Amino acid sequence: MADFDYDLFVIGGGSGGVRAARVAAATGAKVALAEDSRLGGTCVIRGCVPKKLMVFASEYREMFADARAYGWDLGDGAFDWPRFSGQLNTELDRLEGVYRGLLEGSKVEIFDQRAKLSGTHEVTLADGRTTSAKHILIATGGHPVRPEMPNAHLGMVSDDIFHMEKLPRSILIVGGGYIACEFACILHGLGVEVTQFYRGAQILRGFDGEARGLIADQMQERGIDLHLGTNIVEMTPAGSDHVSVPVEEGMGPPATETPAPPEGRPGDPVWVKASNGMERVFDAVLFATGRAPNTRDMGLEEAGVKIGRRGEIVVDDFSQTAVPSIYAIGDVTNRVNLTPVAIREGMAFVETVFKGNPTPVDHDLIPSAVFTQPEFGTIGLSEEEARDQEPVEIYCTSFRPMQSAFAGRPDRVLMKLVVSKETRRVLGCHIVAPNAGEMIQLAGIAVKMGATKEDFDRTVAVHPTMAEELVTMKSPVRTA
């Protein structure tokens, strides 16, 4: 048997890569990991964690108003972005230290630099060193992308939000997915005037139609200026007489002439002309129009790894690539791009490769949350997906929750179950409400176990709560 420097070399220090490295090392394997940015990856450093902290910060504005309705003598206060940002960076530094400590405690050798494949069992580091491994795991995640259009460099992407020196007074957010909608709600809550363009007919494509309709209504009710069926036609630096700059290198077709240096930078004021005729200047533009796997210039195809049409690494049910010694997990495979899924994929990889227990990844019935305001928690099939598969009953209720109704706010929540007529199994559960993410985690256990509508009905309600409606809906509102 060939001798290798390591039993496992992990490229990528995000949540999935770190978990796989640690668990593999616990089996006695000799493990190394390379990360060219910060340990923790997208989720911890520039995604889930800082975003959720911003969600918390943004929710306090409504809390001040609610508190007065409940008898507290409070002023509105003022949000201090520099103070919050400093505290946020301190917390991210702490979390990165935790990840490093976990790896070191597991005796994983860490290389703080870029790594790429140079063979089926070989990795070359940025400093020129080459090392070998019996198994290689790619866990490099993804990155936000800008659209291919002139002056796209003027728009920020989600990574940039956490590094703003100050909050803009106004911002245009382009996109209708969960990242776009979450940041629209966050920035609005922090006092920014938010306009959102989405080229589609409704935000949050792919989710339950009734739920996303309510979220769109509530976002507009709160003051977000949402324009559906709308996109940018032209954008230029504010005050530049609207002269377009060619598309940046790597963002579109090559220019026939050498372009002039681009004017402006992400986060600068931008003049925008929209497809609906609107023309105005925004203090900043944020593109939340998609993400792409981090597979460029990694030596993957040269090593025999198959790459899909969207740049993703193609893997089988066991996360193995076309090269038997090379595996991939997480967003770089573009399967289900969620942090807990990447962690589960890393655990299944270790079970398969290091514990002799072939374990396919289970991507069925994954609960998830969208941290809009109100939040959205979901698991299973949407009403639209379910009715295309089989006859279903829809149990649904929408109402004003006690807490906000008392405060005089018009907020509404939604509780919805999609039920198979034949088996009575709950095929989908969708919640639009404050703390919906917390609720769906628990409801997800029942749905994953195959609970029927009658199982929900047999459960005694917890009163008074919003979630009690999940077990008190007796008659379907419609069948499909």
DSSP string, 169-181: SEEEEE--SHHHH
- Would you give the distance in Å from CA 159 to the centre of its chain? 12
Is 138 found in the same domain as 69? yes
Give, for all 480 residues of the chain, the pLDDT tens digit. 479 999 999 999 999 999 999 999 999 999 999 999 999 999 999 999 999 999 999 999 999 999 999 999 998 889 999 999 999 999 999 999 999 999 999 999 999 999 999 999 999 999 999 999 999 999 999 999 999 999 999 999 999 999 999 999 999 999 999 999 999 999 999 999 999 999 999 999 999 999 999 999 999 999 999 999 999 999 999 976 654 444 443 333 334 344 445 678 898 999 999 999 999 999 999 999 999 999 999 999 999 999 999 999 999 999 999 999 999 999 999 999 999 999 999 999 999 999 999 999 999 999 999 999 999 999 999 999 999 999 999 999 999 999 999 999 999 999 999 999 999 999 999 999 999 999 999 999 999 999 999 999 999 999 999 999 999 999 999 998
Contacts of 28 (CB under 8 A, 6+ apart): none
Is 10 found in the same domain as 113? yes
Share of the chain residues as helix, strand and coil, in percent rounded to the nearest 5: 30, 25, 45
- Would you give the distance in Å from CA 444 to the centre of its chain? 19
Is 334 found in the same domain as 304? yes
What's the pLDDT score for residue 403? 96
DSSP per-residue string spanning 70-99:
TT---------HHHHHHHHHHHHHHHHHHH
Of these residues, 135, 143, 188, 463, which one is catalytic? 463
Is residue 360 in some structural domain? no
Residue 134 · residue 8 · CB < 8 Å: yes
Is 277 found in the same domain as 237? yes
Nearest to 198 by CA among 281, 292, 275: 275
- CATH code for the domain in which residue 394 is found: 3.30.390.30
At which of 289, 304, 338 does a domain end? 289
Is residue 1 in some structural domain? no
Residue 333 · residue 308 · CB < 8 Å: no
What is the C-alpha to C-alpha distance for residues 328 and 139, in angstroms, rounded to an integer? 6
Is 210 found in the same domain as 125? no
Contacts of 122 (CB under 8 A, 6+ apart): 130, 131, 132, 133
At which of 268, 289, 310 does a domain end? 289
Quote the crossing angle between the two packed helices 81-105 and 15-26, to the nearest 10°. 20
Alpha carbon distances (Å) from 368 to 87, 287, 444, 461: 27, 23, 9, 23
Tell me the β-bridge partners of 237: 270
Q: How many domains does the chain have?
A: 3
Is 385 found in the same domain as 325? no
Is 285 found in the same domain as 185? yes
Is residue 361 in some structural domain? no
Is 124 found in the same domain as 97? yes
Is 405 found in the same domain as 470? yes
Contacts of 227 (CB under 8 A, 6+ apart): 195, 196, 197, 198, 274, 276, 278
Is residue 27 in some structural domain? yes
- CATH code for the domain in which residue 83 is found: 3.50.50.60
Q: Verify whether residue 188 is a known catalytic residue.
A: no
Is 462 found in the same domain as 381? yes
Is 228 found in the same domain as 205? yes
H or E element in which residue 272 lies: strand 270-274
Is residue 362 in some structural domain? no
Is 156 found in the same domain as 110? no
DSSP per-residue string spanning 285-345:
EEE-S-EEES-TTSSHHHHT--B-TTSPBP--TTSB-SSTTEEE-GGGGTSS--HHHHHHH
Write down the residue that tokens 């949000």 correspond to: 79
Nearest to 36 by CA among 16, 5, 10, 7: 10
What is the C-alpha to C-alpha distance for residues 70 and 403, in angstroms, rounded to an integer? 10
What's the pLDDT score for residue 75? 87
At which of 259, 289, 319 does a domain end? 289
Q: Which domain holds residue 242?
A: 152-289
What's the pLDDT score for residue 77? 85
